[in-house]
Chain A
Amino acid sequence: MEETRYNYGRRSFSLQLQDGLRHSAARRGRTIAGALLYYFVLLSLSFVFMYPLLYMVSKSLMQSWDVADATVRWIPKSFDLANYRIAFAEMNYWQGFANSVITSFGSAALQIVSCSLIGYGFARYRFPGYGLWLALLIFTFLVPPQTIVVPLYMFFSSLGWINTHLPFVVPAAFGHGLQGALFVLIFIQFYRRLPGVLEEAARIDGAGHLRTYWQIMFPLARPAMLVVFLFSSVWHWNDNFQPSTYLQLPPFYNLAQRMSGFYGKASMASEQMSQSISAGAIGMAPTLLNQIMAGVILSILPILLLYLFVQRYFVESVERSGIAGE
């Protein structure tokens, strides 16, 4: 280190200039190569992320003749939504859709209101027992829902809540439910960053504590709300564990459960088919697989659309929401 600095100082000015010019040319070359490499890596990763979705869409649009045709790899010869029609009818789509919407969007909306209130309390107040409750909050985050599912099931069934949406919605209203503790932590982190001047101003103007929160602070938390809403609704939508515990009769099934049921039925049927024509069939019977893929697409289509719609705001607000935790 010492030696190089010494050498550099001793070099003549022209030599340094030459050196610098050569360096800048080399650097420009390097940045172009770097940018190319950068986009190559990004694009290939994007492809990997998109691959399952592309695979599903492509498979779900194929009919039996496309599957049999060796020249068809990605794009089917004709466009036909037959698989979707079958999956749609088989899953009784609108009923499942309504159930999913109530459990996931209802819970998500309630979790925004409750978790934000609780997060604000933790972020802005110090009171006796503060450390204890915060520790218990983190503890709640770590307890797997499966550990307490049996007593919870008995509790809800003693209240007559089985086959209703209440086991999802009521815990959410108390800031619990699916990943409730995580959402409280997100809001704590967000409110901690807001300057305290805002509240002081509101107090001086005579607003009470709850009013200060509700009228000044809560509306400011929009970035955190968006993140929590998207996570909560998506996780509720895709969750299979709680619905399969609390929703036990087919009319109350949500989309994820219906998709699972349809999947099971279709793969069983295709197994029977492949046994009867074993010689000709390779793996799963083609059209049934394609119907399954159509069913999977249908079951996630609503949240995919939601994501497309809020994606821009979501990506922006993640940066401002302080989701980065403790």
Chain B
Amino acid sequence: MRGRHILEGYSFIGLWIVGFFLFMAVPLGRSLYYSFQELKTSRDGLIADYVGSLHYRAAFTVDVQFLPLLRDTMLAMLRHVPLVLVFAMICALLLNRHAAGRMLFRGIFFLPVIIASGTILKKLLEQGAAQLPIFMQYDLYSKLRLFIPPDLLMTLLAYSDSLTLVMWDSGVQILIFLAGLQTISPQLYEAATCDGATKWESFWKITFPMILPMIFVNTLFTMVNSFTKADNGVMNHLRTVVFSNNNYGYGSALGWIYFIVIFLLLGLVFALFRKHLASMEGRG
């Protein structure tokens, strides 16, 4: 009986396991192998030459672009993720209210999921179409300069510019939060109101703990997304190295360094959330 059960389970996920080896494990292993080689294209395919950790050392010492790009990407991510999470949460809370026309508003709020991915977003940004007119049109800078010190003002305006980006990036996250909010039973809120809790209190005592798993998923999703976005500097650098310079070995090494950095960061997030999530699972 037990043997049959194993067989049944694997008959469902067997397909994925085959795919995992074909499209993930083997390529991953090969790219690790390439990162220690110098690859040259010749008539009979690629010729590999063992060079040890040369590429890895080159990434940190010779390549003048890589480290600054990596640092910028990390900093942008650190700024971006909390903003996306807070914004998506606010939108989800707004859309979760039982008000007339909310279906229409939901349709509009998910629009970025459709248009703001990949190339389109990049082109729009280059054209300034994703920037709000309020910040430039009304000459906000010169008006506010009288009241706010220019350095602070510039950073504020830069933030408000990136705010549009935040909105455009948070479509899927709004969706996930909204789906999470739907699973919270309204009786909990009623009970809390009877006990005299304010809206603010019941948000922190009910909504927040209940939605913590979705915050975790959204954090992961936003991070992975911002690392692989089309306008990511490291990604573009990687592509130039691999496809324009045909430097496969070095490209693989860069890819691995980047991957390890990402993985460490994601591991940190996992560790931060683990305690809370473990206590959640005990309940649910």
Contacts and interface: CB of A to CB of B under 8 A. Distances in A.
Contacts of A147: 28, 31, 255-256, 258-259
B19 A238 contact: no
B16 A49 contact: no
Interface in B1-55: 5-6, 8-13, 15-20, 22-24, 26-28, 30-31, 34, 46
Interface of A: 35, 38-39, 41-42, 45-46, 48-53, 55-56, 59, 114, 117-118, 120-122, 124-128, 130, 133, 136-137, 140-152, 154-155, 171, 174-177, 180, 184, 209-210, 213, 231, 234-235, 238-241, 245, 256, 259-260, 263, 289, 292-293, 296, 299-300, 303-304, 307, 311-312, 314-315, 318-319, 321-326
Interface in B219-261: 220, 224, 227-228, 230, 235, 238-239, 242-243, 248, 251-252, 255-256, 258-259
Interface of B: 5-6, 8-13, 15-20, 22-24, 26-28, 30-31, 34, 46, 91, 94, 97, 99, 103, 105-120, 123-124, 127, 129-130, 132-133, 164, 167-168, 172, 175-176, 178-180, 182-183, 213-214, 216-217, 220, 224, 227-228, 230, 235, 238-239, 242-243, 248, 251-252, 255-256, 258-259, 262-263, 266
Contacts of A325: 176, 213-214, 217
B179 A307 contact: no
Given A46-B109, A49-B167, A121-B13, A304 B115 contact: yes
B131 to A, nearest CB: 9
A128 B108 contact: no
Secondary structure type dominating chain B contacts: helix
A219 B262 CA distance: 38
Secondary structure type dominating chain A contacts: helix
B217 A42 contact: no
A42 B120 contact: no
A52 B122 CA distance: 12
B251 A319 contact: no
B179 A324 contact: yes
A241 B122 CA distance: 13
